[in-house]
């Protein structure tokens, strides 16, 4: 069995489906006997990055912390799945450099669809000016230039997206 670890980095707008897909992919990988950990952006913020705000510097610090933990897990044969907006290309590229075995999954979804979904009610608040520096509204999201895997959650079912990700991991010899 291939026990090669890696960092599976989900990036995309809030509401694109990162956390949902991360959970579903983790389930499938565990069924295959893989060791998997999920580092969800919201959970990491509460436990590892408490006190950080949403300035560019704080967001970069948060992403670098997630990347560091993912690297530690991956080098021990674990597939570290991250689900964090990670809006800035430069810091994602930094994490890629630091981590080596890095698979970027761009969870593509048009802003309008994310606003419609608005699972957490954050877009409503951001559009009303109640949340400053909100990615996609008052702050930028820089799409990845060359992600290993792209899923489009506005056009694909969850199952299709999960299969695309698993196929990508097979093609890259992680599973």
Which CATH architecture describes the domain 6-170? 3-Layer(aba) Sandwich (3.40)
Beta bridge partners of 83: 10, 40
> What span, in angstroms and rounded, lies between the C-alpha atoms of 49 and 38?
16
Round to the nearest angstrom and report the end-to-end CA distance of the chain.
Answer: 8
- Residue 64 and residue 94 in contact, taking contact as beta carbons nearer than 8 Å: yes
Check whether 1 has a pLDDT greater than 70.
no
Instruction: Give residue 155's pLDDT.
Output: 97
Structure tokens that stand for 69 in this block: 């933990």
Instruction: Give residue 145's pLDDT.
Output: 95
* Mode of pairing for the β-strands spanning 79-83 and 6-11: parallel
Which residue among the candidates 19, 86, 138, 161 is catalytic per the annotation? 86
Q: For 30-82, what is each residue's pLDDT tens digit? A: 999 999 999 987 788 777 777 788 888 888 999 999 999 999 999 999 999 99
Beta bridge partners of 79: 6, 36
Active-site annotation holds for 86: yes
Q: Give me the residue spans of the domains in the chain.
A: 6-170
Q: For 119-171, what is each residue's pLDDT tens digit? A: 889 999 999 989 888 998 988 999 999 999 999 999 999 999 999 999 999 99
Beta bridge partners of 37: 80
Name the DSSP class of 33.
T
- Residue 105 and residue 16 in contact, taking contact as beta carbons nearer than 8 Å: no
Instruction: Give residue 2's pLDDT.
Output: 64
């Amino acid at each position: 069995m291939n026990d090669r670890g890696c960092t599976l980095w989900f990036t995309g707008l809030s509401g694109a489906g990162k956390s949902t897909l991360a959970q579903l992919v983790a389930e499938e990988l565990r069924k295959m006997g893989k060791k998997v950990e999920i580092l969800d952006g919201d959970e990491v913020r509460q436990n590892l990055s408490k006190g950080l705000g949403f300035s560019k510097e704080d967001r970069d610090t948060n992403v670098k912390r997630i990347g560091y933990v993912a690297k530690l897990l991956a080098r021990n044969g674990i597939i570290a799945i991250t689900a964090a907006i990670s809006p800035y290309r430069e810091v994602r590229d930094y994490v890629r450099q630091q981590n080596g075995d890095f698979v970027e999954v761009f969870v593509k979804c048009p802003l309008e669809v994310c606003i419609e979904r608005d699972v957490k009610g954050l877009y409503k608040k951001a559009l009303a000016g109640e949340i400053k520096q909100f990615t996609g509204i008052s702050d930028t999201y820089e799409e990845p230039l060359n992600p290993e895997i792209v899923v489009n959650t506005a056009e694909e079912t969850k199952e299709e997206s999960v299969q695309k990700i698993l196929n990508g991991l097979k093609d890259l010899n992680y599973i």
